[in-house]
């Protein structure tokens, strides 16, 4: 089997890095795009054969450069993992800053659209093209004080389902993944911050954070990566237009 050619946005940290690592271990050729130049350099140094482009997917010129680099470095594309996104501020709708709303829309929705639109011609040339869109638990439930984030993550579901309908005739699959509370420095910092504000132990804050989940554990980024590899692998060719929660059976976004 020919090595898969993979593009991962926001591939230099967190979930994106875990996905890149999993693809490299599976023998794929991986290109990552990320706004964090230092993190990009570290991943390229640590993961054998990974190439990368520094860029912001909300900027059209950067997206053009990313796709051009994919053509040059990989010679084509089999898998697009739309992982890039920002969370925006925490505020009720009536107080939500208009510029912050626009920024979240620009990255999460417009950026994902732009990357996907420009990647489609390459994916059509693949014998087994796949698109994975990283939505969120917030793309299944409302999320108090996080309107922009939730709105974009719901919007990505509509985009994914539309891509599945439009591109199925070319053998291209499209699915969305919806992680819940993902283990890592960012989530641990959030819990530590809550504990500092409340004066409660960190363990109690973590317990509260997992209270609405049937399975009381944080999501391992490696588990998300394994799901991505399955959906884009040979056994996922008939799976398209689907939503895949990976959140311990959470009942709400909080």
SS (H, E, C) the chain: CCCCEEEEECCCCHHHHHHHHHHHHCCCEEEEEECCHHHHHHHHHHCCCCEEEECCCCCHHHHHHHHHHHHHHHCCCCEEEECCCCCCCCECHHHCCHHHHHHHHHHHHHHHHHHHHHHHHHHHCCCCCEEEEECCHHHCCCCCCEHHHHHHHHHHHHHHHHHHHHHHHHCCEEEEEEECCECCHHHHHHHHHHHHHHCCCHHHHHHHHCCCECCCCCECHHHHHHHHHHHCCHHHCCCCCCEEEECCCECCCC
Q: Label residue 192 by pLDDT band (50, 70, 90).
A: confident
Q: Are residue 176 and residue 61 in the same domain, yes or no?
A: yes
Could you tell me if 146 and 235 lie in one domain? yes
- Has residue 125 been placed in a domain? yes
**Is 254 domain-assigned?**
no
Strand partners, 250: 213
Question: Is 11 in the same domain as 41?
Answer: yes
What are the phi and psi torsion angles at 11 (to 5°)? Answer: -90, 5
Residue 150 in domain: yes
Which residues, 6 or more positions from 193, have their beta carbon under 8 angstroms from its beta carbon?
A: none
Phi and psi, residue 173, nearest 5°: -95, 155
Report residue 185's pLDDT band, with 50, 70 and 90 as the boundaries: confident
Q: Please determine, for residue 209, whether its predicted confidence score (pLDDT) is greater than 90.
A: no
- Do 97 and 210 belong together in one domain? no
Find out whether 227 and 249 touch, Cβ atoms under 8 Å.
no
The average pLDDT across 42-67 equals: 97
Are residues 79 and 190 located together in one domain of the fold? no
Compute how many other C-beta atoms are within 10 angstroms of the C-beta atom of residue 141.
18
Same domain, 59 and 42: yes
Q: How confident is the model at residue 45 (pLDDT cuts 50, 70, 90)?
A: very high
Identify whether residues 133 and 13 lie together within a single domain. Answer: yes
The domain that contains 48 carries what CATH number?
3.40.50.720
Global pTM value: 0.95
Is pLDDT above 70 for 83? yes
Residue 87 lies in a domain: yes
Please give the order of strands across the beta sheet that includes 79-82: 51-54, 29-34, 5-9, 79-82, 130-134, 173-179, 243-246
Residue 1 has a pLDDT of 60
Q: Is residue 251 situated within a structural domain?
A: no
Q: Residue 193 pLDDT more than 80?
A: no
Q: What rounded mean pLDDT belongs to the chain? A: 95
Whether residues 123 and 213 fall in one domain:
no
Task: Find the catalytic residue in 23, 143, 149, 170.
Answer: 149
Count of structural domains, the chain: 2
Kindly state whether residues 111 and 211 are assigned to the same domain. Answer: no
- Over range 224-253, report the average pLDDT: 97
Residue 62 covered by a domain: yes
The residue behind tokens 């960190």 is 202
Say if residue 207 is in the same domain as residue 86.
no
Known catalytic membership, residue 149: yes
**Residue 27 belongs to some domain of the structure:** yes
pLDDT in tens, 226-236: 999 999 999 99
How large is the average pLDDT for residues 80-107?
96
- 128 domain residue, yes or no: yes
Q: What is the pLDDT of residue 94?
A: 96
For the cut 80, the answer to whether the pLDDT of residue 118 exceeds it is yes
What average pLDDT score do residues 161-172 get?
98
User: Both 201 and 76 in a single domain?
Assistant: no
The boundaries of the domain holding residue 199 are 184-217
Lowest mean pLDDT among 70-84, 87-101, 124-138, 186-200: 186-200
Report the greatest alpha carbon distance in the chain: 56
197 and 165 in one domain? Answer: no
């Amino acid at each position: 089997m020919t090595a898969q050619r993979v593009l991962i946005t926001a591939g230099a940290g967190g979930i994106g890095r875990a996905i890149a690592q999993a693809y490299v271990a599976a023998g794929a050729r991986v290109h990552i795009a990320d706004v964090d130049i230092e993190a990009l350099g570290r991943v390229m140094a640590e993961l054998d054969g990974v190439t990368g482009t520094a860029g912001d997917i909300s900027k059209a010129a950067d997206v053009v450069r990313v796709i051009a680099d994919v053509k040059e470095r990989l010679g084509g594309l089999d898998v697009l993992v739309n992982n890039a996104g920002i969370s925006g501020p925490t505020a009720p709708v009536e107080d939500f800053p208009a510029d912050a709303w626009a920024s979240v829309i620009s990255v999460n929705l417009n950026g994902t659209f732009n990357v996907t639109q420009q990647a489609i011609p390459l994916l059509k040339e693949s014998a087994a093209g796949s698109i994975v869109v990283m939505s969120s638990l917030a793309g299944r439930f409302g999320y108090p004080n996080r309107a922009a984030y939730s709105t974009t993550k719901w919007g990505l579901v509509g985009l994914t389902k539309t891509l599945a309908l439009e591109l199925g005739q070319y053998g291209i699959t499209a699915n969305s993944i919806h992680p819940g509370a993902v283990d890592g420095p960012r989530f641990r910092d959030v819990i530590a911050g809550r504990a500092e504000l409340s004066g409660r132990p960190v363990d109690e804050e973590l317990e509260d954070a997992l209270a609405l989940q049937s399975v009381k554990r944080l999501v391992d980024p490696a588990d998300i990566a394994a799901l991505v590899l399955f959906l884009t692998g040979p056994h996922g060719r008939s799976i398209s237009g689907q939503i895949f929660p990976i959140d311990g059976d959470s009942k709400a976004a909080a």
